[in-house]
Structure 1
Amino acid sequence: MPLPPVPMVEIHRGPLAESLHVGHAVICDGTGQIVEAWGDPDKLVLPRSSAKMIQALPLVASGAAAARHLAEPQLALACASHEGAPLHVTAVNAWLEDLGLTDDDLRCGAEPSRDKALRFQMIRDEETPCQVHNNCSGKHAGFLTLTQHLQAGPEYVDPDHAVQIAVRDAFETVTDQSSPFFGIDGCSAPNYATTMHGMARAMAWFATAGQRSDALSRAGAQLVQAMIAFPDYVAGDGRACTLLMRAANEPVAIKTGAEGYFIAILPQRGLGIALKVVDGATRASNCAIAAILVKLGVLDPAHPDVNTFLIPEIRNWRGLLTGEIRPAPSFP
Structure 2
Amino acid sequence: MSTTIQPIEVRLLRGSIVESIHRVHAVVCDSKGRVLMGAGNTNYETFIRSALKPFQVIPFINSGTVEKTSCSDKSIAIACGSHSGTTLHAREGFRILWNSEIEVDALKCPIPEGRKSRLEHNCSGKHAAFLATCKKMNWPLENYLEVDHPLQKEIFRRVSDLLRIPSDEFVVARDDCGAPTLKLSISQMALLYAQLSNSQNADLEQVNRAITSNPILLAGNESFDTELIMRAHGQLISKGGAEGIQCLGRNGEGMGIAIKVEDGSKRAKHAVALHLLKQLDWLTPTRLQELQEKNLCLNTGVQLEVHGELRFQENTLNSE
Per the normalisation by structure 2, the TM-score is 0.90
- Matched residue, 1:191: 181
Residues 1:140 and 2:127 aligned together: yes
Task: Name the counterpart of 1:224.
Answer: 208
Query: Structure 2 CA distance, aligned partners of 1:224 and 1:11?
Result: 34
Question: Are positions 1:244 and 2:223 aligned together?
Answer: no
1:124-157 Cα distance to aligned partner (Å, 9 max, x none): xxxx521100000001111011101210111110
Matched with 1:235 is: 219
Is residue 21 from structure 1 mapped to residue 6 from structure 2 by the alignment?
no
Structure 2 runs not aligned, ≥5 long? 311-320
State yes or no: 1:289 paired with 2:268: no
Return the match for 1:331 from 309, 314, 318. Answer: 309
Q: Give distance in 1, aligned partners of 2:80 and 2:133.
A: 14
CA contact (8 A) 1:5 1:23 kept: no
Contact 1:290–1:309 (8 Å) recurs in 2? no
- CA deviation after TM superposition for structure 1 residue 7, in Å: 2.8
Contact 1:44–1:193, Cα closer than 8 Å, also in 2: yes
Identity, % of aligned pairs? 26
2:108 matched to which residue of 1? 107
**1:177 aligned to 153, 165, 168, which one?**
165
Residue 250 of structure 1 and its aligned partner are, at CA, apart by 4.9
Matched letter for residue 273 of structure 1: I
Structure 1 counterpart of 2:146, one-letter code? D
TM-score (norm. length: structure 1): 0.87
Q: Which protein, 1 or 2, shows the higher relative CO under an 8 Å CA cutoff with sep ≥ 6?
A: 2
Post-superposition shift, 1:302? 3.3
- Whichever residue aligns with residue 284 of structure 2, its letter is D
2:314 alignment partner in structure 1: none
| Residue 309 of structure 1, CA deviation | 5.7
Residues 327, 284 of structure 1: CA spacing in aligned structure 2 closer, same or farther, 3 A cutoff?
A: same
Counterpart Cα distance in 2 of 1:177 and 1:5: 28
Give 4+ residue runs of structure 1 displaced > 6 Å after superposition: none
Distance in 1, matches of 2:71 and 2:7, equals 42
Shift of 1:82: 0.3
- Over 3 Å counting, the alpha-carbon distance change for 1:102 and 1:94 in structure 2 is same
Q: What SS is found at the alignment partner of 2:305?
A: strand
Match of 1:278 in 2: 262
> In structure 1, what is the Cα distance between the partners aligned to 2:280 and 2:3?
27
